[in-house]
Amino acid sequence: MINRKGISFMIVVYLILLAVIQAVTEFLPVSSMGHLCILEQYMGISHETGLLPEAILHLGTAAAIIFLFRKDLKKIGLGLLGMFMDILGNLNLYIHNKRTGARLGYARIVTGTYRKLGALLAVSMIPTVLLGLTGRRLALLSAESQIVPGTGFLLTGIFLLVTDLGKPDGKKGPKEASYDSAMWIGICQGLAVFPGISRMGFTLCAALLCGYSRKFAVRFSVFMSLPAIVGAFFTEIGNFGASEMTAGLGFAYIFAMIIAGFAGCLVIRSTLAMAQNVKLRYFAYYSFAAGIIVLVLNYAL
């Protein structure tokens, strides 16, 4: 960690730079985590407070997602609440039918686009949570390496290029999407716990290969990032009490989160439009270049 005896001007500058990088790369199929970890190493920032800096920066860009998609997210939230209430109602009906011998009908749980989308997101989070929790320690070790992010960039590039060459032309929206496809996409998101592996890149490619339309695939990838980001933050929040954490450093992290949020609001529409319209092969070429540069510098320096 850079000089704990007060927060220097340079650490604030570094955190602002990281916040901007996070805002730009988070909404593209390139690894924001990989960019952050590599830059932190060259800036001399270690991970004595775990992955708290990355989790906080991701929380900032999550705020931008919530702001942009607030109407859709509200409908999804209401849909999930409605499903929960219907499940409780059906449970009461089941108990009533068992006791009285009645044959009262049960309410249909998944009805409408937003309830289906909420159900898909809930299913996708199951493997994401399991992989995220089991891979957390390895992810922390990987953040101190250049080989893992460099390799991750290359793997992301391969997945993007293979998907692009396959020319997926899916038409599926939330109504046509299946729960098993949501599970596979959730697995891909869980693998992105390692720096260099792009969360959006892997989930976008998986969704396209499952027959999702490009527009819905991008939106689904963005929506499913929110619970993952919030969950990652709460797994790291205990590091605020680490001995290496100072009040000044904590305020610097919060300031960087705000910068990431504001920067994310400024760029999110344009970067999501790029993710939706630009051919995946160009993001693959960028990932290949990033991975090669990182690995060459690792062995050259």
What residue ranges do the domains of the chain occupy?
9-300
Q: How far apart are the first and last CA of the chain?
A: 21
Q: Which residues of 253-266 are buried (b: 16+ CB within 10 A; e: fewer)?
A: bebbbebbbebbbe
pLDDT (0 to 100) of residue 139: 83
Q: Two tokens at 252?
A: 């610097």
Most confident of 92-106, 132-146, 227-241: 92-106
pLDDT (0 to 100) of residue 1: 44
pLDDT (0 to 100) of residue 130: 92
Q: How far is CA 31 from the centre of its chain?
A: 10
Residues 106-158: tens digit of each pLDDT:
899 998 899 999 999 999 999 999 998 888 788 888 888 899 999 999 999 99
| Region 84-110 average pLDDT | 92
Residues 15-24: tens digit of each pLDDT:
899 999 999 9
Q: Which amino acid is at 51?
A: L
Coil vs helix vs strand at 50: coil
Q: How many residues does the chain have?
A: 301
Q: Does position 10 have pLDDT exceeding 90, yes or no?
A: no
Contact by Cβ (8 Å): 1, 248: no
pLDDT (0 to 100) of residue 5: 45
Q: Two tokens at 91?
A: 């449970």
Q: Does position 6 have pLDDT exceeding 50, yes or no?
A: no
Contact by Cβ (8 Å): 32, 152: no
Least Cα distance to 12 among 264, 251, 260, 265 occurs for 251
Residues 155-192: tens digit of each pLDDT:
999 999 999 998 888 889 988 999 999 999 999 999 99
Residues 244-259: tens digit of each pLDDT:
777 777 888 899 999 9
The percentage of the chain sitting over the pLDDT mark of 90, rounded to a whole number, equals 68
H runs (alpha helix) in the chain: 9-26, 32-43, 52-68, 70-100, 113-134, 136-143, 147-165, 179-191, 199-209, 214-236, 247-277, 280-300
d(CA 58, CA 50) in angstroms, rounded, equals 14
pTM: 0.89
pLDDT (0 to 100) of residue 108: 92
Given pLDDT bands bounded at 50, 70 and 90, which one contains residue 299? Answer: confident
d(CA 273, CA 267) in angstroms, rounded, equals 10
d(CA 58, CA 185) in angstroms, rounded, equals 20
